[in-house]
Structure 1
Amino acid sequence: MASSTAIDKDKIIAEYKTKDGDTGSPEVQIALLSARISHLTEHLRTHRKDFHTRRGLIQMTNKRRKLLNYLRKNDLERYKNIIQRLGLRR
């Protein structure tokens, strides 16, 4: 059983997949990373000295940034769509 704060991967994959069986497209990966990033950000608000988690969070944000750069370089429409759907950037 998952706790109430766990990330529902199946729901996120179903929402952002581009075709059936899609788990590795940049959109799905970015959405999953965004969910984990927001979850860890909340964790770090209460546990300020958890530096191991902070390091993992920084790695995740860098990986998401690289995926977003890849998507922007190869397909601008998909890039604009994913940042709008996730509410990234202002």
Structure 2
Amino acid sequence: MVKNSFISVIPQEREKNCGSVEFQVFGFTDKIRRLTAHLELHKRDFLSQKGLRKILGKRQRLLDYLSKKNRIRYKKLISQLGIRESKTR
């Protein structure tokens, strides 16, 4: 049910391309939000913490790639998701 709400945010032309960077970042953000809610209840679940860190890294790498390739799509995506812009290295 939650996944469908994210899919409805994606424009119709992007819905056909499920492998796009935007679609993958939407999926990772959904997983991150669910894991964060889980970890608020279960603070000592260390395996979930490890999984959360791995997903955060994957999302960050995808966002870095998108920011290098197409800055406009990157800005639009982070504004839709309500996440902060990544720090420059």
Task: Please tell me the TM-score bracket, short chain as reference.
Answer: 0.7 to 0.9
Query: What number of residue pairs does the alignment pair up?
Result: 84
Shift of 1:32: 1.0
Correspondence for 1:31: 26
Q: Are 2:45 and 1:50 equivalent residues in the alignment?
A: yes
The equivalences for 1:61-76 within 5 A come to 61-76=56-71
- Quote the Cα distance in structure 1 between the aligned partners of 2:18 and 2:5: 12
* Unmatched segments (≥5 aa) in structure 1: 1-6
DSSP-derived class of the 2:43 partner: coil
Correspondence for 1:16: 10
DSSP-derived class of the 1:28 partner: helix
**TM-score (norm. length: structure 1):** 0.83
- Quote the Cα distance in structure 2 between the aligned partners of 1:10 and 1:46: 25
Higher helix share: 2
**TM-score (norm. length: structure 2):** 0.84
Sequence identity percentage: 36
- Quote the Cα distance in structure 1 between the aligned partners of 2:12 and 2:58: 20
DSSP-derived class of the 1:49 partner: coil
Correspondence for 1:3: none
DSSP-derived class of the 2:84 partner: coil
Q: Are 2:51 and 1:59 equivalent residues in the alignment?
A: no
Over the aligned positions, Cα root-mean-square deviation in angstroms equals 1.6
Structure 1 pair 55/17, CA: closer, same or farther in 2 (3 Å)? farther
